[in-house]
């Protein structure tokens, strides 16, 4: 039975350490157990900020965060601990997220030591099991992160993230820093683990062909808001929001039949600052079909048939 998880972030919240950046605004995401929600959008649109707020690596200074309907905004780190172990994160650059002075076996054991009452022997057994699951060799446990390739380091990051049997794993550009040949191996590993361990993923990436391959549903973000959400194939084949259309038109298509080429929609202008977003529809300065109404009236996310939600006054649906 599918279990629905709903993450809502009301109002605005901030991130980036001491610099306050209102990067995400009124976002609500629903992820079903065992599925992958792909989160896409240009860099700077708030994807990573949203992900980090979901696992509470950033503090929310203004706004609310709900998990399974419960308001967890004001919870202390201690109170969040039982929930924290159910939400884990895999980062883009494993060499930045793994302490270089610790042996990788130790790095994978750390969450087990913090969050469980397992004995040292049990922890060693679990670490050996995790190394096997992610495709690392038993004698790798005594090595240091720098002795590994990028792909192996990401396997360590993944072993750490799944050590506590989480429900949800947020993958923030997990393969963007890797060679193309290694990317496929890691994507396949993630798919295997999802199947075996019934994991739920939020997969953040700017490479849309990877996202299309792995996602059940897609959420397209622009300037801190989700502008379109729906089943991955439907969003990719018939995007309804002008921004999704432009984003998806830029993905090269491998055509097996002749005559299936697509027109590429080029967007002009830079992504405006989320601190000073445009009036009305935030996309209006760059939208090829903007009307007067778009400059003053902000479109609300509206539900359509087929599980699609679009925030646009003139969607193609």
Element (H, E) at 213: helix 208-214
Edge-to-edge, what's the strand order for the sheet holding 36-40?
Answer: 87-90, 168-172, 200-204, 36-40, 217-222, 225-231, 308-310, 302-304
Alpha-carbon gap, residue 12 to 287, rounded angstroms:
24
- 313 interface partner picked from ligand SF4, Mg ion, none, CB below 5 to 8 A per type: ligand SF4
Least distance CB 282 / ligand SF4 (angstroms):
8
Helices (H) and strands (E) in the chain, counts: 11, 12
- 239 interface partner picked from Mg ion, ligand SF4, none, CB below 5 to 8 A per type: none
Binding residues for ligand SF4, rule: CB under 6 A, are 241-242, 281, 283-284, 287, 289-290, 294, 299, 312-314
- 37 interface partner picked from ligand SF4, Mg ion, none, CB below 5 to 8 A per type: none
Closer residue to Mg ion, CB minimum distance, 48 or 88: 48
Least distance CB 247 / ligand SF4 (angstroms):
12
Q: Which stretch binds Mg ion (CB under 5 A): 13-21, 48-56, 129-137, 289-297?
A: 48-56
Is-contact 133 163, C-beta < 8 A?
no
Least distance CB 196 / Mg ion (angstroms):
28
Least distance CB 194 / ligand SF4 (angstroms):
33
- 48 interface partner picked from Mg ion, ligand SF4, none, CB below 5 to 8 A per type: Mg ion
Binding-residue total with Mg ion (CB under 5 A): 1
Q: CB neighbours of 48 closer than 8 A, spacing ≥ 6?
A: 172, 173, 204
Give the residue from 317, 144, 106, 67 showing the smallest Cα distance to 299.
Answer: 317
Is-contact 114 170, C-beta < 8 A?
no
Least distance CB 256 / Mg ion (angstroms):
33
Closer residue to Mg ion, CB minimum distance, 43 or 237: 43
> Please, what's the largest Cα pairwise distance for the chain?
68
Is 244 among the residues that bind Mg ion (CB under 5 A)?
no
Is 49 among the residues that bind Mg ion (CB under 5 A)?
no
Is 48 among the residues that bind Mg ion (CB under 5 A)?
yes
Specify the DSSP class assigned to residue 49: H
Strands (DSSP E) contained in 130-216 are 168-172, 200-204
Q: What residue number has its CB nearest to Mg ion?
A: 48
Chain residues in the site for Mg ion (CB under 5 A) = 48
């Amino acid at each position: 039975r599918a279990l629905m998880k709903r993450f809502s972030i009301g109002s605005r919240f901030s991130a980036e350490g001491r610099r306050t950046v209102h990067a995400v605004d009124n976002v609500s995401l629903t992820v079903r157990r065992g599925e992958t929600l792909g989160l896409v959008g240009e860099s700077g649109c708030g994807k990573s900020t949203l992900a980090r707020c979901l696992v509470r690596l950033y503090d929310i200074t203004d706004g609310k965060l709900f998990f399974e309907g419960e308001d967890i905004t004001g919870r202390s780190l201690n109170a969040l601990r039982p929930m924290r172990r159910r939400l884990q994160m895999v980062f883009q650059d494993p060499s930045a997220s793994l302490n270089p002075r610790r042996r990788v076996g130790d790095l994978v054991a750390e969450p087990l030591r913090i969050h469980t009452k397992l004995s040292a022997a049990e922890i060693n057994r679990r670490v050996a099991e995790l190394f096997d699951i992610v495709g690392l060799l038993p004698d790798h446990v005594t090595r240091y992160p720098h002795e590994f390739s990028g792909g192996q380091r990401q396997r360590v990051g993944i072993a750490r993230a799944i050590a506590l049997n989480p429900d949800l794993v947020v993958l923030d550009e997990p393969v963007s820093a890797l060679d193309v040949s290694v990317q496929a191996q890691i994507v396949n590993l993630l798919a295997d683990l999802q199947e075996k361990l019934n994991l739920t993923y939020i997969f953040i990436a700017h490479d849309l062909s990877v996202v299309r391959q792995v996602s059940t549903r897609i959420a397209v973000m622009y300037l801190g808001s989700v502008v379109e959400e729906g089943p991955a194939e439907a969003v990719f084949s018939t995007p309804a929001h002008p921004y999704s259309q432009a984003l998806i038109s830029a993905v090269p298509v491998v055509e097996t039949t002749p005559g299936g080429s697509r027109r590429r929609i080029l967007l002009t202008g830079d992504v405006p600052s989320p601190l000073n977003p445009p009036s009305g529809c935030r996309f209006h300065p760059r939208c090829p079909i903007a009307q007067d109404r778009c400059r003053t009236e902000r479109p609300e996310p509206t539900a359509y048939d087929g599980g699609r939600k679009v925030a646009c006054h003139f969607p193609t649906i």
